[in-house]
Amino acid sequence: MPDKTWVPVRVPQMPEVETGTKGWPAILSPDPNVEEYVRLGREGYVEYYHVEFLGRPHTRYWAAAKHVELYHTSFTKPKYRNLQGAMRKSYEVAMEEAAKVMEMGCEERLQISHFQPQELQ
């Protein structure tokens, strides 16, 4: 998958987020510590993608490749009946951001990233 692509990401350790949704909106972005967005396994296949979750607040995570799906047009605003309070509000914000991200080019997506690589001194 190309860098700065917007993808829905499943979050297996937070089952209340996954239940009733197709995943949490995120963009692939370089890890600010290592400036890479993929980790390859011994056989050269992608095992992990670094993602930046949209919403409030933005967070980042190395997600297993099997939990990352490229956005497709059948991804509609999912039901999120199991989300409550701040988590539900964050998800609503994430979906609004995702709609905006879909209209952006890769460079614009990089500009909205909250986690920029640190310049080496």
- pLDDT tens, N- to C-terminus, the chain (121 residues): 655 556 666 655 554 454 345 678 888 888 888 888 899 999 999 999 998 888 888 888 898 888 887 765 445 555 566 677 887 888 888 888 888 877 877 777 666 666 654 443 3
3-state secondary structure of 11: coil
| Cα–Cα distance, 23 to 11 (Å, whole number) | 7
Is there a domain that residue 11 lies in? Answer: yes
Is there a domain that residue 48 lies in? Answer: yes
CATH code: domain of residue 46: 2.30.30
Closest by Cα among 39, 21, 16 to 8: 21
Give the amino acid at 103: E
Say if CB 68 and CB 51 are below 8 A apart.
yes
Is there a domain that residue 115 lies in? Answer: no
Is there a domain that residue 118 lies in? Answer: no
Say if CB 113 and CB 27 are below 8 A apart.
yes
Is there a domain that residue 111 lies in? Answer: no
What's this model's pTM, rounded to 2 decimal places?
0.72
Residue 55 region, left (φ>0) first, then alpha (ψ -120 to 50), else beta? left
Is there a domain that residue 113 lies in? Answer: no
Residue range of the domain that includes 37: 6-106
- If one counts the domains in the chain, the total is 1
Is there a domain that residue 45 lies in? Answer: yes
